[in-house]
Amino acid sequence: MEAWLEVWWFAYIILPILIFLARIVDVSLGTIRILFVARGVQTLASLLGFFEVFIWLVVISNVMKNLSSPFYFVFYAAGFAAGNYVGIAIERHLYVGKVALRIITRENADALVSFFREKRLGITVVDATGAQGPVKLLYSIVARRDLQTTIDEVKRFNPKAFYSIEDVKAVSEGTFPISQKRRSAKRGSGLNFFSLRKGK
């Protein structure tokens, strides 16, 4: 009886949980790696690729040997779905790379342009015509870590402004603010490549 309970416990509780968790970790790493590849972050993409394959070979391959029932297929598929969700959620908090911010406004954009220039953010302003008349088209390349702050300022200057965001794989030249890391490098101090995000 005890042996049967032990087998039942492992087969219907422990193993499904292992399958689910292993797929979350594996797929999360794969999702983040693909996003890094699209943004041209070669070093991190390669590092994540190593751990992704390592987990697949060591963990997933052993777990898969025990997939003898359709009951496990549900946990396998659920882990895959959850892994995509978790991977994207993690990537949003990594602040890696730059994005293209495009703003269209019908209101006077002088104050917003001044904000960009005070923050040493490159900004290009073009007169254009929209569906309802003349508009200003503002285009800038912003570091992902500064994106939310920049959007908050856009909404503060013009709450009704239309804006769109696109990933940027690489940039050449341009005007960007000097980050804390670059200021530290100029002073000769060490760099922290993996700074933690502080909660509010």
Domain boundary assignment for the chain: 2-91, 98-177
The set of residues, in sequence order, having a beta carbon less than 8 Å from that of 143 and lying 6+ positions away, is: 95, 97, 98, 176, 177, 179
Residue 59: predicted pLDDT: 73
Q: What is the DSSP letter of 190?
A: -
41, amino acid identity: V
Identify the sign of the CA torsion 166, 167, 171, 175: positive
Kindly report which listed range (21-30, 66-75, 84-93, 142-151) carries the lowest average pLDDT score. Answer: 66-75
Kindly indicate the confidence band of residue 82, based on its pLDDT and cuts at 50, 70 and 90: very high
| CATH pick for 98-177 out of 3.90.1150.10, 3.30.70.120, 3.40.50.150, 3.40.50.970 | 3.30.70.120
Structure tokens at 181: 């890391």
pLDDT at 174 over 60: no
pLDDT at 101 over 60: yes
| Alpha-carbon separation of residue 101 from 69, 88, 108, 143, 144 (angstroms) | 49, 20, 18, 10, 10
pLDDT at 26 over 80: yes
The model's pTM: 0.58
Write phi, then psi, for 102 (nearest 5 degrees).
-115, 125
Residue 1: predicted pLDDT: 46
Q: What is the DSSP letter of 119?
A: T
Q: Cα separation of 15 and 66, whole Å?
A: 8
Pairing of strands 133-143, 124-130: antiparallel
pLDDT at 80 over 80: yes
Residue 140: predicted pLDDT: 87
